[in-house]
Structures are given as C-alpha cells and as structure tokens.
Amino acid sequence: MKKIMALLLALTMMLSLTACGGAGKGSQLSSSSGKSETSEKTNEDDSGEILVEDMPVVRMCFSVMSTGEDEELIEEEMNKLLAERYGIQIDIVKQLDNTQLNLMLTGGEDSIDIFTSFWFMSQSTLYGNGQLMNLEPYMEEQGAGILELFEPYPEILDCGRIDGDLYGLPAYTAWSTPNIYIAKEDVSEAAGIDWSQVHTLADATDAMIKMKEVSPTSYFIPGATQTYWVPKDLDDLGDTKYLGVILNPDENTTVENYYESSQFLDFMEQVKIWQEYDLISPDPMSNDDANLFNMQYGIVDGTPGYSWSIDEFCYESNIQQNLNGNVVGAQIGERYITTGTVQTYMWHVSSFAKNPEAAVTLLNALYTDTDLAFLLGYGLEEKHYVVDENGQLHYPEGKTGFDTDWGGVPMDFWPNTTECPTFWFQPEDKNKNMMETNKEAKRSLALGFVFDSSVVSDEYAACSSVVDQYYLPLINGAVDIDSILPEFQNALKNAGVDTIVAEKQAQLDAWLAEKES
C-alpha cells in the first residue's frame, strides 16, 4: 500500500494535475446513446425498460488517492446516472498493489473488466500475456463518443493499436511530458543558479554541484528502488524496458539498443559525476520511496522527474507548499509526443470481461459525459469538495486531498480531464494550457507504432530480467559503473537484445511502409 501511495503522490505532483470531463457539464460528445447492447436475457418492467437489477455490472479497478471510504456512496450515485443514461452499473474495485491487479487479470470470480496500465505493465506486455481484449468490434456502437473525441488525433488513438486492432485507449490529456529538474528555492538562490540557462542533464549536474558547495549536507538525486529517471527525449515505442529505442525521433526512424546508445552512455557519465560529488542520497537500494517523497521527507533537496510543464509544476507545488518550501527548476531536453508518452495513461478492457459491450459503454461515458467523470474523480459537492466564488474547488474544512473520503487529488490518469473545474492551487485556464502543449511538441515519426513483443517473447523476458538486475544499481551509483556497465551490456547481448532490436526495426519498417502506401 505504501508503494501505491508513493507512486500516486509522485503522479499528483510530478505530472500536472487536472480535473475531468468531456464536452461541458453533463454533455455527451457522441450523438450515439452509447447504451450497452447485451445478448443476455433480462427482465423488463411494463414499459419495456430493463430493470436495474438486471443491468450488466462493470467492474472497474483503479488506485484511490483519498481514504476511499465513500466507495459505496459513489457507486450508488454513479449507478443512478448510469442506469438512466446507459443501462449499465459500475462496481468500483480499489487497487491496492500491482500483485493484486495482476491476479484480477487471470480470470476467476474476482476478475475485473476495466483497468489502467499506468505504473503497471506496458501495453505490449499485457497483450503478450493475453490479458487485453480487442476493442475494435465495439467501438462504432458502444465507443462512438471516443472515436469522435479522437477524430482529430488518429495517430494518438493508434498508440492503443497492435497489429491493427485496438487494445488500449489513451487518456485525453497532455501527450508530452518532458523531463524536468527541480530544487529547493532557498538552496538554489544561495548557489546563484539561473535556471533559464539549464537545458540539459549536464547543465543540471553543474547546478547540483554548485548547490552542494553551499549546502554540503544536502543531496540532489533521490537514489531508490523506484527509478528517478524516465527518459522522455526519445521514443521507446511503448517499451518501458527500453529494449530498442529511437533517438531524435522527429527526424530518425532507426531503432538502436538504448543501453549502448550515446544517450545512455552520457547518462552514465553524469551518474559517475554524481557519485564523485556525493549528490546521490545514501543507501539507495534500501530506499523504496518515490522521488517526491524523498523531497517531502527532506532526504534530498532536488530531483529529476517529468511534467507537462515545469512552470505549472512549480506554481502548483509552491501554492500548496507540499515540498517543504518553494521549488524552482527547468525543463531538461526536448518536448516530444511519442507512443511512449501517449501510453503513460492507458485504459483497457480485460480479456476476461464478462460483458465487453457494457465495459466499452462505461469507458465511452467516462470519456464523454462530464457528470459521470467528475463524480467518479471528485465525489460529491460539500461532502468531498466545495466550490468558491470563482468556480474553483477546495477541500471541505479540516480536510486535505489525502484524508477526504473520496476524490481529493486531481489525477491525470482519468480518461478525460479537460472540462472540469480546477482546484484553487491551479490556474483557472490550466486545462487549456495543458492541451496547448500538444500543439507545441515535436512528434515522433513513429507516433502510433506499437511493438508486438510476443514475437520475441523469450528474448524479451530474458532481457527484462537483465534490466531488472542491473539498471537500478547502475543509475543509483551503487556499483562501480566502469566494470558493471560492460557486464550489463554483455548480459543483454547474451539474452537476445539484438534480436529484439532487429524485430522492432522490422515491424516499424513495415508499419512505415504501410502508412506511406
């Protein structure tokens, strides 16, 4: 449970927090009713309507940031609207950890219908495991609103496809989340850091060294068993193990072994400098806290991360004072939209879904019906939030985002987060600003391509195990990099990384050729 809360706090603060919605309060984007059609025989009342007790129930699993104690109340209120508008019901299943989620994706009485793969497994891995249902047969009818929403962005929806079929739905949000580096403002000012001059990781390293000089007891990299670095200025092609990536993806389509690339080798050089100057927090392999918990707990005074906007991140954090003082920082590297950045937040229907029509109907509602999306994400007015004279949300008196009984903290993983009110610590036009970044970002030439790892499943499993063994000790500076890095690279070779890279290139080349034909 601690790890789930850690990653959720990291999500809450590191990626811009938004509300939820569709096309305006209570509106539905699609002209289709989106009602679920099921072949099951159900009872009807005298008017011919299906009785509520006979409506299909969709089990939806997600992590809850608040106490979650009002789950039954939210279900009750959700089901009133769902019965009236869509002829279905929802059963909320609170995710406790990834082990529990994986068990619920293996069938049986406790199996779920809808889930998000955020911070769980890549879409390719889930597909290879046989845990995803193909949504294509249900989209024209039950998912009509989703298709309409993404009609201007076909390449974004394509990030949910494998071999032409649709296995995941991207959240409708900012699709680029460049790397950032943040630090405590007081330490930064004492060191005279000009963040407008920081653009690369090497620049950030120089800033860390200067801050270490004025604050010798401080650390600026949160070494931990949860990675502090997720590279965003490349295209991982939806592969979170980085077993074949594209560098400079807006002008290049060559797949290469990330762990032998110039970018990774440069990163390792930075880690060696961090080792030399004692910038990494102590005992990294026994620390299981996420980046921002390390800042909140005072373990570090700076950390890398990623966010759709460094300015927005600092603005929200400084108003909330959730990192023990003001923070400042800079964007690191370019802003790209890639398959990997789009796949940060994906929603799926389990291959064990008992009624896929009803499951897609519920997803369609959460992408297009603001009433339902807002209720699920934020709960009930007065009980879980209050609205001020500017239309912005506050927590009820005496409550915070973590101890309300539902909602509490705006989360980006919800299906659609563009039309709801903002919290008081956010700009009123935050959602508009967030979507504007999609126009500014450079687009990968491979945007929409998703690697099918099932073709090289044995090699992929073996290489994944190698990455799990070596990657964190290397980036945490817990080993001698000069001797262990070649050992890591050789282990990947022996496990078949070259086969994976070649297969990924072949699939990408075929995809590009078909796209051009």
pLDDT per position as a tens digit, 270-283: 999 999 999 999 99
**Whether residues 219 and 290 fall in one domain:** yes
Confidence bin at 313 (pLDDT 50/70/90): very high
Confidence bin at 75 (pLDDT 50/70/90): very high
Does 44 map to a domain?
no
Does 397 map to a domain?
yes
Could you give phi then psi for residue 115, rounded to 5 degrees? Answer: -155, 165
pTM of the model: 0.84
More confident call, 167 vs 401:
167
More confident call, 517 vs 49:
517
Confidence bin at 499 (pLDDT 50/70/90): very high
Confidence bin at 38 (pLDDT 50/70/90): very low
Confidence bin at 47 (pLDDT 50/70/90): low
The pair of structure tokens assigned to 121 is 């497994």
pLDDT per position as a tens digit, 375-416: 999 999 999 999 999 999 999 998 887 788 888 777 788 999
pLDDT of residue 45: 57
**Whether residues 138 and 65 fall in one domain:** yes
45-49, 127-131, 333-337, range with the lowest pLDDT: 45-49
pLDDT at 162 over 50: yes
**Whether residues 229 and 92 fall in one domain:** no
Instruction: Give the β-pairing of 57-62 and 89-94.
Output: parallel
pLDDT of residue 63: 83
Domain boundary among the residues 338, 365, 396 is at 338
Could you give phi then psi for residue 386, rounded to 5 degrees? Answer: -125, 155
Annotate 354-421 with three-state secondary structure.
CCHHHHHHHHHHHHHCHHHHHHHHHCCECCCEEECCCCCEECCCCCCCCCCCCCCCCCCCCCECCCCC
pLDDT at 286 over 50: yes
Instruction: Give the β-pairing of 336-337 and 442-443.
Output: parallel
pLDDT at 9 over 80: no
Supply the angle between the helices 497-516 and 457-475 in degrees, to the nearest 10: 110
Q: What is the mean pLDDT of residues 136-156?
A: 97
pLDDT of residue 348: 97
**Whether residues 169 and 194 fall in one domain:** no
**Whether residues 62 and 144 fall in one domain:** yes
**Whether residues 115 and 19 fall in one domain:** yes
Q: Which residue type is seen at 205?
A: T
Q: Categorise residue 477: left if φ over 0, alpha if ψ from -120 to 50, beta otherwise.
A: left
Confidence bin at 23 (pLDDT 50/70/90): very low
Neighbours of 266 (CB within 10 A): 12
**Whether residues 355 and 407 fall in one domain:** yes
Does 43 map to a domain?
no
**Whether residues 157 and 210 fall in one domain:** no
Does 509 map to a domain?
yes
pLDDT of residue 453: 87
Domain boundary among the residues 443, 466, 496 is at 443
Instruction: Tell how far CA 261 is from the center of its chain.
Output: 25
pLDDT of residue 39: 39
pLDDT at 97 over 90: no
- Concatenate the DSSP letters of all residues of 21-70 into one string: -SSSTT--SSSS-------S---B-TTSPBPGGGS-EEEEEE--SS--TT
87-91, 360-364, 420-424, range with the lowest pLDDT: 420-424
**Whether residues 55 and 186 fall in one domain:** no
Does 42 map to a domain?
no
Most confident of 233-242, 341-350, 447-456, 489-498: 489-498
pLDDT at 41 over 50: no
Instruction: Give the β-pairing of 161-162 and 165-166.
Output: antiparallel
Number of domains, the chain: 3
Q: What is the mean pLDDT of residues 493-513?
A: 97
- Whole-number Å distance between alpha carbons of 271 and 251: 28
Most confident of 16-25, 40-49, 271-280: 271-280
**Whether residues 458 and 360 fall in one domain:** no
Confidence bin at 48 (pLDDT 50/70/90): low
Q: What is the mean pLDDT of residues 85-101?
A: 88
Domain boundary among the residues 395, 412, 443 is at 443
**Whether residues 411 and 496 fall in one domain:** no
Give Cα separations from 271 to 222, 226, 268, 368, 515 (angstroms): 12, 16, 5, 45, 40
pLDDT at 232 over 70: yes
pLDDT averaged over every residue in the chain: 89
pLDDT per position as a tens digit, 326-347: 999 999 999 999 998 999 899 9
More confident call, 424 vs 44:
424
- Residue 374 makes CB contacts below 8 A (sequence gap 6+) with 19, 20, 21, 25, 420
CATH number, domain containing residue 292 = 3.40.190.10
In the block, residue with structure tokens 């009872």: 43
pLDDT at 87 over 50: yes
pLDDT of residue 121: 85
Does 370 map to a domain?
yes
pLDDT of residue 34: 52
Q: What is the mean pLDDT of residues 309-325?
A: 92
Range of the domain at 361: 2-36+51-174+342-443
**Whether residues 468 and 353 fall in one domain:** no
pLDDT per position as a tens digit, 188-204: 999 999 999 999 999 99
The residues pairing with 245 across neighbouring beta strands, listed in sequence order, are 256
- Residue 30 makes CB contacts below 8 A (sequence gap 6+) with 144, 145, 146, 147, 148, 364, 368
